[in-house]
């Protein structure tokens, strides 16, 4: 049953990825000739011919797309134009840094966000709720790149506690992870708060209270276990935000991850690397969503029956 569900969801995965491939292909191949951008004015016709052939630009466009798809299946995005290595190898080399940053940030955001949300819901409309909720709403309006700059200004330039950028040691991770976590944090606070408040008016909670269970007991045995699922499903939605946020965070802190690679490759018109990076990000999001859905089904029997 569960296996069948996973398989059905896996069957949809190629469809999503095909759409991603199609979008990437259209946007990058049909809007400008990479040859023009990559070779300077003093190029020889031989150079043009060689690069055109290397990128299969001499074929008709549907054929180009098929070649592109075929290469994709083999995980081959072509040679990077700026690094003398295959594009997929270049991207793979950066995956570790991105996962480190995104993982730390997500952990921070979920932990603090859920705690904040619980505090808000339990002391609803009291001072703590008003303060945390207001900060959360204001936080949703905060441009992440500006937050990053403020943190650099204060902790790196004024206080000199932490480095402005760099990679390798734990202290380099602090500011980027906090920045990225702050992008997600307000949403987790608000979604946890709403889910718990909705659950508190459910009949089984009212019953629990009326048969004499303490507020705390009801919270821990009736409300919180049921709040896991909405938060988890929201986490699936937020993986996209996490990836988008890491592109910006990596750019601010010069973090050597996939996001920064993507931006620099766009400016250098390194089409194969752009394709590989976009594809990696899209696949990561699709897989994360799949994992979340399966987890939800394992946790909540109601979803299994539906």
* Interacting residues with another protein (CB under 8 A): 15-16, 19-20, 23-24, 27-28, 31-32, 124-126, 130, 134, 137-138, 140-146, 149-150, 152-153, 157, 191, 194, 240-241, 243-244, 247-248, 251-252, 262-263, 266-267, 274, 278, 281-282, 285-286, 289
Select 13 or 47, whichever has its Cβ closest to another protein: 13
Q: What are phi and psi of 79, to 5 degrees?
A: -80, 140
Cβ-proximal residues to 84 (8 Å cutoff; 6+ apart), any chain: none
Select 27 or 49, whichever has its Cβ closest to another protein: 27
CA atoms within 13 A on the CB side of 110: 17
Select 181 or 262, whichever has its Cβ closest to another protein: 262
Q: Is 142 helix (H, G, I), strand (E, B) or coil?
A: coil
Residue 183 and residue 144 in contact, taking contact as beta carbons nearer than 8 Å: yes
CA atoms within 13 A on the CB side of 50: 8
Select 1 or 127, whichever has its Cβ closest to another protein: 127
Distant-in-sequence contacts of 12-20, Cβ < 8 A, 24+ apart: 13/286, 13/287, 13/290, 16/282, 16/286, 17/279, 17/282, 17/283, 17/286, 18/69, 20/278, 20/279, 20/282
Shortest reach from residue 157's CB to another protein, in Å: 5
CA angle 256, 259, 261 (to 5 degrees): 60
Cβ-proximal residues to 240 (8 Å cutoff; 6+ apart), any chain: 285
Select 22 or 204, whichever has its Cβ closest to another protein: 22
Residue 192 and residue 224 in contact, taking contact as beta carbons nearer than 8 Å: no
Shortest reach from residue 81's CB to another protein, in Å: 15
Shortest reach from residue 61's CB to another protein, in Å: 15
Tokens of 291: 């994992």
Identify which of 88, 27, 65 has the alpha carbon closest to the alpha carbon of residue 272: 88
Shortest reach from residue 43's CB to another protein, in Å: 22
Shortest reach from residue 149's CB to another protein, in Å: 5
Select 16 or 100, whichever has its Cβ closest to another protein: 16
Rounded to whole angstroms, the Cα distance separating 15 from 12 reads: 5
Select 47 or 165, whichever has its Cβ closest to another protein: 165
Shortest reach from residue 45's CB to another protein, in Å: 26
Shortest reach from residue 90's CB to another protein, in Å: 18
């Amino acid at each position: 049953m569960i296996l069948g569900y996973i398989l059905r969801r896996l069957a949809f995965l190629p469809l999503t990825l095909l759409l991603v491939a199609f979008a990437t292909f259209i946007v990058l191949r049909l809007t400008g000739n990479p040859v023009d951008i990559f070779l300077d004015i003093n190029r020889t016709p031989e150079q043009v011919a060689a690069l055109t052939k290397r990128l299969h630009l001499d074929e008709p466009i549907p054929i180009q797309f098929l070649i592109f798809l075929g290469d994709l299946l083999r995980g081959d995005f072509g040679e990077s134009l700026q690094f003398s290595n295959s594009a997929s190898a270049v991207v793979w080399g950066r995956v570790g840094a991105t996962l480190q940053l995104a993982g730390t940030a997500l952990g921070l955001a979920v932990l603090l966000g859920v705690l904040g949300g619980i505090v808000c819901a339990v002391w609803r409309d009291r001072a703590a709720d008003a303060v945390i909720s207001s900060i959360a709403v204001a936080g949703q309006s905060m441009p992440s790149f500006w937050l990053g700059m403020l943190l650099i200004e204060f902790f790196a330039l004024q206080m000199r506690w932490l480095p402005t950028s760099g990679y390798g040691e734990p202290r380099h991770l602090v500011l980027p992870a906090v920045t990225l976590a702050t992008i997600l944090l307000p949403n987790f606070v608000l979604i946890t708060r709403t889910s718990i408040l909705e659950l508190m008016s459910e009949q089984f909670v009212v019953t629990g209270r009326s048969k004499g269970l303490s507020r705390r007991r009801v919270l821990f045995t009736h409300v919180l276990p049921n709040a896991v699922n909405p938060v988890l499903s929201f986490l699936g939605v937020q993986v996209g935000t996490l990836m988008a946020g890491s592109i910006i965070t990596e750019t601010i802190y010069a973090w050597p991850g996939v996001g920064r690679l993507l931006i620099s490759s766009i400016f250098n018109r390194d089409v194969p690397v752009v394709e590989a990076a976009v594809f990696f990000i899209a696949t990561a999001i699709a897989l994360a969503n799949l994992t979340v859905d399966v987890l939800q089904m394992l946790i909540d029997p109601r979803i299994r029956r539906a």
